[in-house]
Amino acid sequence: MIGLAGFGVASVVGGAAGSFEILVAARVAQGLFAAVLAPAALSLLSVTFTEPSERAKAFGIFGALGGAGGAIGLLVGGMLTEWASWRWVMYVNVAFAVPALIGALLLAKPAITQKPKLDISGTRYRAADSGQNPF
């Protein structure tokens, strides 16, 4: 959710940029927050789809949508630049980020309130029983 919110804020800052430096800084921030989003999305797929056939289908759909999104994004970006302004190439991301963030907030599960304790002695004992070097 941090990556999603940060990407949306960076998009607004980039669209409202009054100088080249701010635009570049906003694009850098978009890249950093997008780098947080990608592994989170893939980990959600891995946890949600546990059966191998379902997981393969989910990753296939994810890849297809990513490829199609890249192609469609170029076309829509060109149309926005031609018909509106280059700023709308940045602002359009907010139209996707805000509903996704609202959905994530509504679907978020509560965090674990009690952390499990690490059993160091049991770990060493089990490793010693298995015939493997515990260290």
Q: 107-133, pLDDT tens digit by residue?
A: 777 666 677 777 777 665 554 555 555
Q: 8-41, pLDDT tens digit by residue?
A: 999 999 999 889 999 999 999 999 998 988 888 8
Average of per-residue pLDDT across 95-106: 88
Per-residue confidence (pLDDT) for residue 12, from 0 to 100: 93
Average of per-residue pLDDT across 102-110: 80
Q: Other CB atoms closer than 10 Å to residue 93's CB: what's the count?
A: 20
pTM more than 0.95? no
